[in-house]
Structure 1
Amino acid sequence: MNFFKSHFWYHKSQRNGIFFLLISIIILQLVIVFGNFSSEENSDVNTPQVLAFHKQIDSLKFLEIENRKPKVFPFNPNYITDYKGEQLGMCIEEIDRLLAFRKTKKFVNSKEEFQKVTKISDSLLNKISPYFKFPDWIVKNSQKKQYSNSSVAKKNQSSFNKLKNKITTTDINKATAEDLKTVYGIGEKLSERIIKYRTKLQGFSFDYQLNEVWGLEKEVAEKVLAIFKIIEKPTIKKVNVNTVSFKELLKNPYIDYNLCIKIFNYKDEVAELQEISQLKNITNFPLDLYDRIVLYLVAE
């Protein structure tokens, strides 16, 4: 008993202190349990200050993402590796095309040639081509070539303008011998030969018919066609293949004696051609001449 009594025996001031402590604890517990600590005002997250703060955070995030991306420095596209190509966004097939081209000991010397070899898309080319760095001598040669091409183009245009003032027409089916002689390489004989052949054909229907003129070289023919064009196609008199005579059919500038015999033999077999395209059924018919042969024939 004395043991417990020693622990619970207090004088008056001690008892008052213990009582005050108990009251304080009870009051504090009541405040915690029944007190309202919630804020009655809701914070507005759409205020200009909050929005500006979020915008600043987003910009910082974007800068961090950009800084983490691998930087691209100027490079020679001839030496792209598999790893470098993947970083640039090229697929394996595009990289392999470039590597195969390089194995032939050739080099790409322009962004256009790079696209031609690799067959990359225009969007990817526009993205990576600003980083292409070719040797200085290639860049200088390219500039010289562009300047040279520009000078040649101006010179040709000037020459064409001069010729245009001298000729009476640019229609090859109406051009005179004097008109044709304004072309370098066309003299008296060739101009007359062109007009004579044009008369035989009843007029040029296709540009490539000019190459059929005897003695006219291809380069000279191209010069003629650079100035003179088929503006109005000729009106050609056609004959009925079913009623035409042998002699009349031979007048066709593209039908020789042997072909004429084949056509008449075929007519005897089928009695009558219903369509002119039936000529293609003839054995060993010159299909490369078909479009010109039928200029003069009709099946009726």
Structure 2
Amino acid sequence: MMKSHFLFTRRQRNGIFLLILVVLAVQAIYYVSDFTKPIDFGNQEEIDAFLKERDSLVKVYEENSKPKIYPFNPNYITDYKGYVLGMTNEEIDRLLKYREQNKWVNSVSEFQKVTLVSDSLLKEISPYFKFPEWTKSSNNKQKTNSFSNNSNYPSEKKDLNLATAGDLQKVRGIGPTLSERIIKFRTKINGFADQVELSEVYGLSSEVIEEIGKHFTIKTPRHIDKIALNSASVNELVQIKYIDYEIAHEIIEERTLRDGFKNFNELLKIKDFPIVKLEIIKLYLTLD
């Protein structure tokens, strides 16, 4: 009975013999081969050239991935704009408080004096500053100083909520179509609460909005019942434009993790938060 287990056909015996030969051959190759020698991957110069090209492509990609900065008037830096530029919350707040006093920054040195930004950051962002043409003229030096400190200047501007189509068309870049859109949008929202809402008017560029700010201010802002960000429920948050239920839940979860929000910029850390709409959303919120 035991003998039957060790009986093979001739074909099977040949197969076993061949397998043994293969095993012995592999072992022989292992013992005679020198695996300490470095593997030759080809021409080293070609490899170095390939790695150099790869590194250059990675560098180009990283540069292209950085936020693009275009010329802008530093007087209109928002929280989000300052965040993109690399300014701290304190530096942004100093500028905003300065502007709330109806004062204007008219030079690079004055910008640093107000915000206290570092020399390195100033050197990086100041080439993009775009001040009104008259601030560059030495003949208008006296006018510049009086303008930046003249608290009566805003009173010389017209109320944007009372402006007619004809008034708006006096602004460079605004024709009949845009003036009609502005008034139509203003009527729809029952008056502007803040100039930042102009960004929601279709076709208005940031440059035109800046020009509007030179001639108009909001003296009769629309009243907004603000919601306390650090205590609002989901149902309260979804009443705010651009915040849906998913984002509202994310806000509350982030609020819990942070033990309350210290500033509005912390909202930018929330997944899928509409970053470009932060300034609009802030109009409806308070940190109290």
TM-score, normalised via structure 2 length: 0.39
Q: Which of the pair has the greater relative contact order for Cα pairs under 8 Å at 6+ separation?
A: 2
TM-score, normalised via structure 1 length: 0.37
